[in-house]
Amino acid sequence: MGRVLAAGVCGSDLSLFRGGPIAERLWPLVLGHETVVRVDASSHVLAERWGVGVGDRVFVEEFIPCGWCQTCRSGNYRVCPRTDFRSERFVRYGRTSLDSGPGLWGGFAEYLYLHPDARLHPVPDSVESQVAALATPIANGLRWVRTVADTQPADNVVVLGPGAHGLGCVAAARQVGAHEVIVIGRSSDGQRLDVATALGATAALRIDHDDVLAEVHRRTAGRGADVVVDATGSAEAASLAPRFAARSGRVVLAGGTTGPADDFPVDLVTSRELSILGVRGHDGYDIARALRLIEAKTADFSLMSAPATVLSEGAALLTDLCADDATGHAPHHVLVPGPEPADADRDVEE
């Protein structure tokens, strides 16, 4: 078990909180898959495997891959059948039923069950647990922008959507040394666009106010962007993304919450020879790099998150976010359980 210290709120949590066919299939469950815990004595074998000690703070990856299926053995454990809710073998943090095993599969609780196949990462001493909970969006940014899109120094990058994952992409693009890093949101994204600028975006455009296509072309000497990332999860944005891309550009589609995009411009994909790259999350290497980036304080990543909300107020927070999740809220929220009980120390010493 791990005593939960901080748990990030992801947009996908809101989708499940709202309900719908997938939620109905998965409920009842404990949400939360961006979790920092303190390892207790019951997980000493797992802790030893990952090179951490009982009592240490660790970030727990959301995937619990089997390690032996074909995709796991190829190193691509993000698509292990265990990560797919349609599979009989499905098990994943924040998505697994209370009726399965010990039931504590989510970070929005005081304790998290640490499965023997859980993947742990030590949190550096200088990083607060609440900031470490941002490792997921930053890891996604690193993977999507750097690993998958192979963004190079002096490339021009456009990021659609200034939510937590979009901001992770901004941070990653800056880290790589991109020339222009243009983030596109809506006027209602106010605070999120400000955070993008603080993280190093060279322009923060509002699609309902600015001539975004013209501005991207102006800033890229008429070429368009070498890399475009759609981090919105909307079919509309996925169809828009190729229009910002330069010839031979790479278009990363990260949104996984919508259905088919009817207006997807296949003609542009072929005429400009674009590469369309689908992505799903990150792997352990990205999490480790994200934690190191946070530790290095190359930017004030704490800006990405609103002040933490205590767990007992979590349902009210989710209700608020669902009611108006496009009205300039902070991009990322974190739940904390409140003070650790005194007996947590005793567990550590056993």
Give the β-pairing of 57-60 and 120-122: antiparallel
* 8 Å CB contact between 203 and 180: yes
Please give the Cα distance from 192 to 22 (Å, whole number). 28
Number of residues that bind Zn ion (CB under 5 A): 5
Our CB check for Zn ion shows the closer of 56 and 61 to be 61
Q: Which residue is nearest to Zn ion (CB)?
A: 80
Is residue 229 classed as helix, strand or coil in its secondary structure?
strand
Q: Which stretch binds Zn ion (CB under 5 A): 66-74, 164-172, 261-269, 271-279?
A: 66-74
Residues 72 to 91 in contact with Zn ion, rule: CB under 5 A: 72, 80
What is the helix (H) or strand (E) element at residue 294, kind and residue range? helix 284-296
Q: How far is the CB of 282 from Zn ion (least distance, A)?
A: 16
Tokens of 236: 């509309």
* 8 Å CB contact between 281 and 140: yes
Q: Which stretch binds Zn ion (CB under 5 A): 65-73, 257-265, 314-322, 329-337?
A: 65-73
Instruction: Pick the closest to residue 168 from 9, 295, 304 (CA basis).
Output: 304
Q: How far is the CB of 71 from Zn ion (least distance, A)?
A: 6
| Longest CA pairwise span in the chain (Å) | 65
Q: Residue 66 interacts with Zn ion (CB under 5 A)?
A: yes
Q: How far is the CB of 86 from Zn ion (least distance, A)?
A: 15
Q: Which residue has the tokens 């990462």?
A: 121
Our CB check for Zn ion shows the closer of 92 and 174 to be 92
Which of 2, 8, 32, 65 binds Zn ion (CB under 5 A)? It is: 65
Q: Residues interacting with Zn ion, by CB under 5 A?
A: 65-66, 69, 72, 80
